[in-house]
Structure 1
């Protein structure tokens, strides 16, 4: 299921403002790639270009290419809705649909994609997705209760279940643990380790320990100053980034000297 992503000379604009400049990188399938860097350096902006989610902001545009197994997601005629079905997104704060039950939250994406299914098929999808998010045993006896009634960590795993229910090939996570307690954070990190067996995963995190724990490769972004574009400074195996980076700014950041 998972896909290789190749980004080539990507610039991201909001109107005339260049927010991210000149990113080139390859994200391997069945791996976890972490984006790190100080606030405002373009990590979240860049991750949203990987499923065209940034386009919900007026006047946002990109130059360059994002290739998924060789196909440019930005070619004319490519439907961004289909891109977002292939490339799921989990946001910083858990966002289950508040008026929907746990079950309805899981199958919401499939219904939005006009996927018709019998009750049996729906039940199987719900169980498979919740098991994939390591949440089934905790909620199987209360599927008709509101998803918003779960704890924060459970809500985030419910959002992950909702994302994988539409059978994506890539899962993007924009600071998925920043609003969670340490125990819930550990549960999400364990889940990421399981999910990478089937998916390509990209995660934005401000937590250096988390990046070193969960990722195979790490990309360090930085910014020269207010009003300047964010840039990819260094991209390598996570062990190398944290133990022997080739750029001084990377070493300063991961060692806590700034950011």
Structure 2
């Protein structure tokens, strides 16, 4: 299921403002890649270009290529909705639909894509998705209860179950643990380690310890100052980037001198 992502000379704009400049990167399938860097350096903006969520903002656009196993996600005639089925997104704050049941939350993406699904297939999909998100045993006896009644960590895993129910090849996670307590954070990190056997995962995090725990490769983004575009400064194996960075700005950031 999982696919590679190749980014070539990508510039990201909000209207005339160049927000992220000249990104080149290859992300291998069945790996976890972490994006780190100070606030405002374009990490989340760049992440959203990988499933065309960026362009839901009026005036937002990109120039360059984002290739999913060689297919340009921004090519002529490519349906952004189809892209988002292949490249799922989990957001910073858990966002289950509060009035929907746990079961209906899992099925929401499938229903949104107008997929016809039998009652038995729906039940199987709910169970397999919740098992995939390590949530089944905690909620199997209350599938008809509102998703908003779960704890924060459970809600985030419910959102992950909803994302994987539509069978994506890539999972993007934008600071998925920033609103969670340490125990829930540990559960999400454990889950990421399990999911990478099936999915290509890209995670934005402000927690450098988290990046070192969960990812094989890490990308450091930075900005020269207010009003200047974010840039990819260094992209390397996580161990190497944290212990022997090749760029001084990377060393300054990971050692805590700024950010």
Instruction: Give the shorter-chain TM-score range.
Output: over 0.9
Aligned equivalent of 2:165 = 165
Query: Separation in 2 of the partners of 1:154 and 1:162?
Result: 12
Match of 2:139 in 1: 139
| Structure-2 residue corresponding to 1:209 | 209
Separation in structure 1 between the aligned mates of residue 186 and residue 99 of structure 2, nearest angstrom: 28
Show CA shifts across 1:60-94 (max 9, x none).
00000000110000001000000000000000000
Alignment correspondent of 1:19 = 19
In the superposition, the TM-score normalised over structure 2's length comes to 1.00
Measure the CA separation in 1 of the matches of 2:130 and 2:257.
Answer: 41
Number of aligned residues = 259
Aligned to 1:154: 154
Spell out the pairing of 1:186-225 with structure 2 (5 A cutoff): 186-225=186-225
Q: CA deviation at 1:48?
A: 0.1
SS of structure 2 residue aligned to 1:89: strand
Which residue number corresponds to residue 31 of structure 2? 31
What is the aligned partner in structure 2 of residue 99 from structure 1?
Answer: 99
CA distance in 2, matches of 1:216, 1:79: 31
Q: Structure 1 unaligned runs (5+)?
A: none
In 2, the alpha carbon distance for the partners of 1:167 and 1:251 equals 38
The equivalent residue for 1:253 is 253
Q: Over aligned residue pairs, what C-alpha RMSD do you find?
A: 0.3
Deviations 1:154-206 (A, max 9, x none): 00000000000000000000000000000000000000000000000000000
Shift of 1:99: 1.1
2:62 corresponding residue in structure 1: 62
Q: SS where residue 62 of structure 2 aligns?
A: strand
Describe the SS at the equivalent of 2:6.
strand
Gaps of 5+ in 2: none
Q: CA–CA distance in 2 between the matches of 1:15 and 1:117?
A: 41
How far apart are residue 243 of structure 1 and its match?
Answer: 0.5
Q: TM-score normalized by structure 1?
A: 1.00
Q: Secondary structure at the match of 2:2?
A: coil
Say which SS state the counterpart of residue 23 (structure 1) adopts: strand
The ranges of structure 1 where at least 4 consecutive aligned residues each deviate by more than 4 angstroms after the TM superposition are: none
